Amino acid sequence: MDTSTEKKNEEKREEVYLEWSSPSRLFKKRDREYFTNIAAIVFLLSIILVFAREFVLIAAVLSIVFLIYVLSTIPPEEVKHRITNLGIESAGAFYRWEQLFEFWYEEQWGQTLLVLRPFIGPRVIILLGGKDRNSVREYIAKHIPFRETPQKTWVDNAARWLTNKIPLEKPTS
- The answer on 84 and 69 residing in a single domain is no
Domain annotation covers residue 4: no
Banded model confidence at residue 149, pLDDT cuts 50, 70, 90? confident
CA distance 34 to 8: 55
The overall average pLDDT reported for the chain is: 84
Q: Sheet containing 78-84: which strands, arranged edge to edge?
A: 16-23, 78-84, 87-90, 93-96
State pLDDT tens for residues 102-147: 898 888 888 888 888 888 888 888 888 888 888 888 888 888 888 8
Domain annotation covers residue 173: no
% of the chain with per-residue pLDDT over 90: 15
- The answer on 112 and 88 residing in a single domain is yes
Domain annotation covers residue 1: no
Q: Which domain holds residue 156?
A: 14-24+77-160
Domain annotation covers residue 166: no
Alpha carbon of 45 to those of 54, 62, 86, 117: distances in Å?
A: 11, 10, 48, 35
CA distance 98 to 42: 43
Domain annotation covers residue 170: no
Residue 99's beta-bridge partner residues? none
